[in-house]
Each structure stands twice: as C-alpha cells, then as structure tokens.
Amino acid sequence: MWIAVYFGVVVAIGLAAYLGWAGYAISKGAALWPFVVGLPFFYLAFPLFFTTVWVFLGWWWRSPRPPEVELSFGQRVRLFWNEYWSLAQAPKMIVYGLLMPDPPKVCADLPVLLLHGIGCNAAVWTSMRRYLEGQGLGPIYALSYGPPFDSIETFAPQVAAKIAQIEADTGARQVVIVGHSMGGLVARSYLRHYGGAHVKRLITLGTPYAGSKHAWLMSGTSLAEMRPGSAYLAALARPSDKEAGVPIVSLWSWHDSMVTPQTSSRLDEKTDIVLSGVAHNALLGDPDVQRRVAKEVRIARSQQGQSVDAPRASTVH
C-alpha cells in the first residue's frame, strides 16, 4: 500500500504541474497540440534520467569483470533499453492489487512466493508470474510488505504470515521463495527468525548479500542495512543452523546497475548462476532469467521429500 500511495502522489503532482504549465502557456497564446504530444515524453524523461544515473553508477562502481563478459555496443544499447523500459513501467505499482491478486485456492504441493525489492511492491512480478504460470508452476503468490524503509528484520513476520496463508489456501507444507534485490535479504531474515521448515528452496535475483554502494545515495533503515559493512549484513554472513537446510541459489549479473560492486550478490560458486548483459530491474522480465527461475522451481519440485540439493556449477550467459 505504501508504495502504491507514493507513486500515486508523485504521478498526481507531476501531472498537475504539467497541466498547470500547459494551461498558463496556452492562456498566453501557445498552441495546445505541443502539450498533448509532449505529455508522454514529459513522463518518460523521468525513468530516462534515473536509468542513466543508475547505469552510469553501476559502471563506475563495477566489479572487475572477466574479458568474456564484456559487451558490444549493441549489447550495451539493449541493456540500457531493457532497464529503461523496466523503470518506465513503475506506475503500474499504483494498481498492484488489481495486477497481482492472490490466485484461487487450489490444492498444491509446492507454491511459489515472490518477494520484491526496496521501493517496489508485488506489481513488479507481473511478467515473472505470467511466465511461471504458463509453465504450469503455479500457484504463484506475491507479498507486498512494508513500510518500505523500515528495518529488513521487521518484514520477516509478514513473510511468515503470508506463508501460513499460502499453506492454508493450498494444503502445501512448503513453498519456494523467489526474492529480487532486497527481497532476497527479507527471505534470509525470515529463515533466520523462523527456520527453513516451510521453505523448500530460495532463489534470489540480484540480491546484495555484501551490500551495495548505491544504498549510500538514499536514506532509510533498510538502506542503511544494505550498505557494505553494515552490522545487519555482517550478522547475515555468519552461518545459521536455522537456514542450513534450505538450498539458496543466487542469480546475478555482471552488469547489474544497482548492486555495486556486482560481486556483492555472490554467495558460492557452486550455487551461483551468473549472467551478463542484464541490469538490475530488467532481471525480472528477462526471458533467460525467467527460464532459469522456472528450472530451479522444477528442481525443487523434483526433490520433494529431500532436504538438500546437489551442488551445481556456476554458469555465465
């Protein structure tokens, strides 16, 4: 709800300012049509600005990259466009309740729970949910937790309540969690507090396990916790018996535009899935990422009744 209200207010203020400017200019003799044509460009300038800033900082604070993942000019253009388009869709979070309702109650062995990153809500998962459902991997649930800038630890009880609801709805005893960015940390905090009895597998996308320099650019408790060297991240890095039985797969990109350095998402080369050419928000809609998430969900389903997965080799795309 918090993010929906925030974006609703921002869009309303921006639209009011634009219409006020247009009305004043037209009253002074300006033509109407440039303002009608210019309205979408006025909006699209904002995600363009933020995409440019994030991608530049992602490059400036980048991890040293192996030569084989360097991008051509065309691949860089495609990376920028995909990230820009992902950010341009941010207003859909205003109507997240319509876009991402809970699925109908049905019996299921292993439902999937999606956890978004900071400054977002469940609406960012529309493409991923559509793909997973198309692969027959439902039911797919998503949690919009908050308030968005509270401590990451405070979101763990909300995850616990959502898992309890999912199990009541489906009769399942466990779920697979997919977390994007801070959502992966939220899932880890849940495991630290509640244990892994109800989680078969955790799949994270661009989660800053060692923090991100980008977190220094904004304020808030959760952002402070995601700064490199924070007490929260130091505690998370220490082994915990409570999450020891839950396989964690970290999917991350050498070209992540918001996790800096990008190797902050590295957990273990035996369980990492390493990509290239995909920026941070575009991970959610990237076809290859979606295929790999679906593969991990299938692995979890195939190992129902087993406690630990066999290790996999790190891969680069």
Which are the contacts of 41, defined by CB distance < 8 A and separation ≥ 6?
Answer: none
The backbone torsions φ and ψ at residue 138, rounded to the nearest 5 degrees and listed phi first, read -80, -175
How far is the C-alpha of 317 from the C-alpha of 276, rounded, in Å?
6
The string of DSSP codes covering 40-107 is HHHHHHHHHHHHHHHHHHHHHTPPP--GGGPPPHHHHHHHHHHHHHHHHTGGGGGGHHHHSPPPPP--
What pLDDT shows up at residue 312?
A: 46
What pLDDT shows up at residue 2?
A: 80
The CATH number for 99's domain is: 3.40.50.1820
What pLDDT shows up at residue 308?
A: 44
Helix or strand or coil: residue 200? strand
What pLDDT shows up at residue 310?
A: 40
Give how many domains the chain has, as a whole number: 1
Output the tens digit of pLDDT for each of the chain's 317 residues. 789 998 889 889 999 999 999 999 999 899 999 999 999 999 999 999 999 999 999 999 999 999 999 999 999 999 999 999 999 999 999 999 999 999 999 999 999 999 999 999 999 999 999 999 999 998 999 999 999 899 999 999 999 999 999 999 999 999 999 999 999 999 999 999 999 999 999 999 999 999 999 999 999 999 999 999 999 999 999 988 998 889 999 999 999 999 999 999 999 877 899 999 999 999 999 999 999 999 999 999 998 765 444 444 445 55
* Domain extent for 61: 1-317
